[in-house]
A = this chain, B = another copy of it.
Amino acid sequence: MAEAIVVGGGIMGLLVARGLRASGASVTLLETGQTGREASWASAGIIAARAPWTTTATGALQNHSASIWPGFAAELADETGMDIEYRQNGCLYPAFSDDAARQLERDARDARAAGFPLEFAAGSALRAEEPALGPAIVAAAMGPGGNVENRRVVQALTIAAGLAGVTIQTGTSVTEISSTAGRVTGARTSSGRGYAADIVIIAAGAWSSQIKGLGLDIPVRPQRGQILAVAQPHPAPRRVILKDDDPYVVPRVDGRMIVGATREFAGFDRARTAGGIAWLLSAAIEMVPGMAGSELLDIWTGFRPISGDGTPIIGPGTLEGLFFCTGHGPSGISPAPASAEIVVAMVESRQPPIRAEAFDPRRFASR
């Protein structure tokens, strides 16, 4: 039976650990802090398809993942009794000018022709669907998707992984991967302790590139997202609203509305800034004017793992037995179940469920 170590206890690490354990491997997950408390915790939990909806590798990854989410949510409820509040309330893509509206209408037609159900609406038809929208929005496309309570997802996954027999070591920071003759032998922590393993999966998010001994210099850096929650106005949007250049607006089942997020390169500085919050609130109020009177409930920040070329890093590295599942950038919750499926399949030398060449970590090997 294989001995596997998963480095990182966010949604990616937890999913991979649970998946490998389900196949009979002995799995230890090592997490610096508590599980699920970094990017997975800071997320807005959007489960969306991605434009262009049908052609890119990342689009295919998200679309495949979207098909997994309903069953995955049901599985987690079965395994743990916990409702992760996955809701297929749909996604809305707004246009703020007549030009943008015409382009959106064409995009929707193209998407439908390719089999992706994206509807276009303007004027009274749009207002009837979404009375909460402000006058700045002249038209919108509406498609499938929704949102999930990401904090409950990682909590449920932690429980599920534990029930499945994954050994979870929190407060344990992996600093180096050990290897001999091009083959992984384990991991070493900041306290100097070594863990032996045949398989190591790097799922350490924005911190992934700080680990030594990876055999390849993966370009992942932290992108700060400032994000906040307000009380839902009346009327509230029904759908997740996804503005091209953010902010997005996510109505949650618990009565909150999430507004996110800035995309900033500020190292690991967790500051919430005056400019960031001013922009989030002002731009979101333009989309949903009723939220001006909504109580501001919370503001937080997170660090998304941004890969050097903007595409996730999923699959084997250059050392035998080493795999990556990181670099998902601003959209990590949505593709997570699919990304984990890919990694687990590759570890087990099975065919991944979708083509995954675009995500190959070895594309950075010659840097």
Which residues from chain A sit less than 8 Å from chain B, CB to CB? Answer: 230, 259, 271-275, 277-278, 281-282, 284-285, 291-296, 299
Contact = CB atoms under 8 A, between A and B. Distances in A.
Nearest to A270: B295
Given A281-B281, A282-B282, A274 B291 contact: yes
Given A274-B296, A278-B282, 20 more contacts: A230-B273, A230-B274, A259-B274, A271-B296, A272-B296, A273-B293, A273-B295, A273-B296, A274-B281, A274-B285, A274-B293, A274-B294, A275-B285, A275-B291, A277-B277, A277-B296, A278-B278, A278-B281, A278-B285, A282-B282
Contacts of A271: 295-296
25 contacts: A230-B273, A259-B274, A271-B295, A272-B295, A273-B292, A273-B293, A273-B294, A273-B295, A274-B293, A274-B294, A274-B295, A274-B296, A275-B281, A275-B285, A275-B294, A277-B277, A277-B281, A277-B296, A278-B278, A278-B281, A278-B282, A278-B285, A281-B281, A282-B282, A296-B299
Contacts of A230: 273-274
A268 to B, nearest CB: 14
A275 B299 contact: no
Report whether over half of chain A's contact residues are helix, strand or loop; otherwise say mixed.
Answer: helix
Contact of A275 (B274, B275, B292): B292
Number of chain copies forming the complex? 2
B292 A274 contact: yes
A147 to B, nearest CB: 19
Contacts of A293: 273-275
A340 B274 CA distance: 37
Contacts of A291: 274-275
A291 B259 CA distance: 21
> For A277, A285, A292, A299, which residue has the most chain B Cβ atoms within 10 angstroms?
A277
Nearest to A292: B275
Contacts of A294: 273-275
A150 B230 CA distance: 29
A284 B295 contact: no
A52 B259 CA distance: 43
A294 B277 CA distance: 11
Contacts of A282: 278, 282
A274 B284 contact: yes
A295 B272 CA distance: 5
Nearest to A278: B281
Nearest to A284: B274
A83 to B, nearest CB: 28
Contacts of A273: 230, 292-296
Contacts of A275: 281, 285, 291-294
A168 B19 CA distance: 64
A262 to B, nearest CB: 11
Contacts of A274: 230, 259, 281, 284-285, 291-296
A259 B273 CA distance: 13
A272 B259 CA distance: 15
A269 to B, nearest CB: 9
Contacts of A299: 296
> For A274, A281, A293, which residue has the most chain B Cβ atoms within 10 angstroms?
A274
Contacts of A285: 274-275, 278
Nearest to A299: B296
A224 to B, nearest CB: 12
B272 A292 contact: no
